[in-house]
């Protein structure tokens, strides 16, 4: 290595970013000018640190108290919103859930009445049968979800290479979590806004330790 | 026969039958249609292909490898600020038909079961269960755009934390 | 967390150069820390974690505000400083002004530092703050700024040279009663500077 007075390598040496061999090589070739550069870098670092700390000292304590009050207000609002989100999903879901039990009897009753009227109106002699119009129905997805024993599809060759293109992602891939249980532990649902759009993250609290208050740190 | 004269025909002597039937039938039809699962009534898609990527987040190391470029935006978020580097441990694929459950067992010891509950062209509804051995960590139903990614994670690993990126595409 | 508030503010102010913007970032950073604390493990890297959150917030803020004026100034500076020039020899070395501990008490030095940071481009200021104040490694800086380590090394090199030049220019005409050394090239490092090197 040629002796240098100031270059990127010298700065990396100053920052402790060189590997052992490189560092020794630089040390062996240090010139007086290079050492002067190192002294300047040291001074500059101190000046920046002291300068910005002095700026921070100018802020009165009361201003930070005000800031902490706002932090607490925001966190309390978060907690209230989280509680509201946890209790129910949406107005339409609630309306739908409320009326869902009434759909089957309503359909059956209407069907019976319609059939009876049509039958009687046709003048046939047979008595109106109290037979509901057959209405196709399907197992509720919610009931299927409650089924803990999920019969599996036949095993597949499931290993793939990760050829995932970020461009293929939809602009809004935020997941709508409709039901969640954390297996006895706690967890949290978060969202990330990034260039790939909005991504939902389900965080599982997989720790046994409890955390101390953050103010105590 | 006398009992065939119903109360309806007494109240609405002439047009009762056709009018009443015509008003009841739509009601019956609508109620019946609402009971029909929306998936069956509206589904244009009956299957999905899901990719499950197991990612290890570590407190040491250097950055995001190229193979995790599709998650780079998410991994740079503050939620992952505690981790300095990430590694793709493995990737698996499941093909699901409507109502069918697929399972992927990862080398990390976790198992992820996915069931396709509902599928439309652009949106999927899935049931996901993440377990570690016999212990269920999370059990959730969610709806997501086709090709969208759901991240589930924060589970312990000797080298850091593991999370799973689940991406399903309808059709 | 309270004990970190001024340190976090100094970092944010370093990036943003505006008191209220810096306080907004401090507030937002502490909110995020509270929200994501459950995901943080151990206390050893809490400071690093906190700093990364602050850095990301500041960078987002800078991207939104798009300050172009400083960038143009920085380009001019970069063209003027030639490779091969040393910080310690071309200009009167700051470290020759006297004992750094007392030199850095002088308000004109502190003001010159603020002016210097103000004139740097956003990218140059960012690498200076990350390295000099936050102690981030080149790899961490590269990840944060979405560039290579080589780019970080280059940016830091030029940022320091520009900062040095600005400081020297600002202080060149400031007579100092305590500075009795002539304004000439100094070829020897200051021993007192070595003693206070981090």
Across residues B26-32, what is the average pLDDT?
Answer: 54
Q: Residue B140: its chain A contacts at CB < 8 A?
A: 177-181, 202
Instruction: Write out pLDDT tens, residues C129-188.
Output: 999 999 999 988 888 888 889 999 999 999 999 998 888 887 774 333 344 344 443 333
The rounded percent of chain C whose pLDDT value lies above 70 is: 62
What pLDDT does B100 receive? 87
Q: Which residues 6+ apart lie within 8 Å of A28 measured at CB? A: none
CB–CB contacts below 8 A, A to C: 179
- Whether B82 sits inside 8 A of C53 (CB atoms) is no
Structure confidence at residue C9 as a pLDDT band (50, 70, 90): very high
Q: Which residues 6+ apart lie within 8 Å of A206 measured at CB? A: A185, B137, B154, B155, B156, B161
- Whether A153 sits inside 8 A of B17 (CB atoms) is no
Residue in C closest to B64 by C-alpha: C143
Q: Is residue C124 a contact partner of residue C155, using CB atoms and an 8 Å limit?
A: yes
Nearest chain C Cα distance for residue B125, angstroms: 28
Instruction: Write out pLDDT tens, residues A62-102.
Output: 999 999 999 999 888 888 877 776 665 556 666 766 776 77
From chain B, which residues contact C within 8 Å (Cβ)? 59, 62-64, 76, 78-79, 81-82, 84, 154, 161
In this structure, what token pair is assigned to residue A163? Answer: 């050829």
Half-sphere exposure of B111 (CA within 13 A, CB side): 12
Q: Which residues 6+ apart lie within 8 Å of A183 measured at CB? A: B131, B135, B136, B137, B138, B139
- Whether B138 sits inside 8 A of A114 (CB atoms) is no
What pLDDT does A119 receive? 66
Nearest beta carbon to residue C53 from set B59, B63, B81: B81
Nearest beta carbon to residue B32 from set A107, A161, A182: A107
- The larger pLDDT score, comparing residue A88 to residue C118, is at C118
Q: DSSP assignment of C170-194, as one string? A: HHHT---TT--S-SS---S--HHHH
Across residues A51-68, what is the average pLDDT?
Answer: 90
ipTM: 0.74
pTM for this model (two decimals) = 0.51
Scanning A166-205 for CB atoms below 8 A from B yields 166, 168-170, 172-183, 185, 187, 190, 192-197, 199-205
Separation between Cα atoms, residue C23 and residue A212, nearest integer Å:
26
- The larger pLDDT score, comparing residue A57 to residue A97, is at A57
Q: What are phi and psi of A40, to 5 degrees?
A: -65, -40
Q: Which residues 6+ apart lie within 8 Å of C133 measured at CB? A: A48, A49, A52, C10, C11, C14
- Considering chain B, what is the average pLDDT of its residues? 79
In this structure, what token pair is assigned to residue A34? Answer: 């290079």
Q: Which residues 6+ apart lie within 8 Å of C118 measured at CB? A: C17, C70
Nearest chain B Cα distance for residue A50, angstroms: 27
Separation between Cα atoms, residue C81 and residue A50, nearest integer Å:
26
In this structure, what token pair is assigned to residue C61? Answer: 């803020």
Residues present in chain C in total: 198
Indicate if the pLDDT at residue A136 is higher than 70: no
Residue in C closest to B61 by C-alpha: C139
Q: Give the single-character DSSP code of A6.
A: S
Q: Which residues 6+ apart lie within 8 Å of A112 measured at CB? A: A130, A131, A132, A133
Separation between Cα atoms, residue C30 and residue C19, nearest integer Å:
17
User: What is the maximum span of chain B, computed from C-alpha positions, in angstroms?
Assistant: 91
- Whether C143 sits inside 8 A of B81 (CB atoms) is no
What pLDDT does A211 receive? 37
């Amino acid at each position: 290595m040629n002796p240098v007075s100031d270059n990127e390598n010298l700065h990396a040496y100053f920052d402790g970013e060189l590997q052992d061999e490189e560092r020794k090589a630089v040390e062996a070739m240090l010139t007086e000018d290079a050492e002067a550069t190192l002294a300047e870098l040291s001074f500059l670092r101190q000046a920046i640190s002291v300068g910005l700390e002095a700026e921070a000292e100018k802020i009165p304590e009361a201003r930070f108290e005000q800031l902490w009050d706002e932090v607490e207000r925001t966190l309390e609002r978060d907690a209230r919103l989280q509680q509201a989100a946890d209790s129910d999903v949406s107005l339409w879901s609630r309306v739908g859930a409320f009326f869902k039990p009434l759909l089957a009897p309503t359909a059956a009753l209407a069907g019976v009445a319609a059939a009876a009227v049509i039958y009687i109106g046709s003048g046939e002699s047979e008595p109106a049968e109290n037979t509901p119009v057959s209405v196709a129905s399907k197992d509720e997805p919610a009931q299927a979800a409650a089924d803990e024993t999920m019969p599996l599809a036949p095993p597949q060759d499931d290993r793939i290479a990760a050829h995932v293109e970020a461009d293929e992602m939809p602009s809004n891939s935020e997941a709508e979590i409709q039901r969640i249980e954390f297996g006895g532990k706690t967890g949290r649902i978060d969202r990330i806004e990034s260039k790939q759009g909005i991504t939902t993250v389900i965080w599982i609290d997989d720790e046994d330790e409890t955390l101390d208050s953050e103010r105590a740190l | 026969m006398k009992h065939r004269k119903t109360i309806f025909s007494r109240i609405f002597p002439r047009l009762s039958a056709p009018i009443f039937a015509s008003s009841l039938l739509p009601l019956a039809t609508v109620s019946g249609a609402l009971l029909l699962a929306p998936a069956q009534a509206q589904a244009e898609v009956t299957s999905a292909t899901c990719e499950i990527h197991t990612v290890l987040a570590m407190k040491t190391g250097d950055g995001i490898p190229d193979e995790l470029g599709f998650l780079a935006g998410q991994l740079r978020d503050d939620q992952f600020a505690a981790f300095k580097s990430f590694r793709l441990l493995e990737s698996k694929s499941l093909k699901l038909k409507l109502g069918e459950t697929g399972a992927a067992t990862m080398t990390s010891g976790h198992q992820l079961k996915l069931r396709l509950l509902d599928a439309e062209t652009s949106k999927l509804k899935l049931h996901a269960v993440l377990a570690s051995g016999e212990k269920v960590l999370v059990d959730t139903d969610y709806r997501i755009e086709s090709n969208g990614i759901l991240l589930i994670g924060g589970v312990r690993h000797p080298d850091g934390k593991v999370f799973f990126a689940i991406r399903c595409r309808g059709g | 967390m309270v004990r970190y508030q001024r340190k976090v503010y100094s970092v944010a102010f370093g990036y943003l150069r505006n008191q209220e913007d810096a306080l907004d970032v401090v507030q937002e950073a502490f909110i995020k820390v509270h929200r994501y604390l459950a995901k943080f493990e151990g206390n050893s890297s809490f400071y690093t974690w906190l700093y990364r959150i602050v850095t990301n917030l500041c960078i987002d803020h800078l991207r939104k505000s798009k300050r172009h004026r400083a960038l143009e100034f920085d380009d001019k500076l970069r063209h003027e400083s030639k490779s091969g020039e040393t910080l310690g020899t071309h200009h009167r070395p700051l470290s020759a002004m006297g004992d750094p501990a007392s030199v850095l008490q002088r308000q004109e030095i502190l003001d010159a530092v603020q002016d210097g940071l103000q004139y740097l481009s956003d990218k140059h200021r960012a690498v200076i703050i990350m390295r000099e104040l936050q102690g981030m490694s080149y790899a961490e800086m590269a990840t944060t700024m979405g560039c290579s380590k080589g780019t970080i090394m280059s940016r830091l090199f030029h940022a320091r040279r520009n900062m040095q030049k600005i400081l020297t220019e600002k202080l060149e005409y400031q007579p100092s009663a305590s500075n009795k050394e002539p304004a000439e090239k100094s070829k020897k490092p200051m021993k007192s500077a070595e003693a206070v090197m981090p």
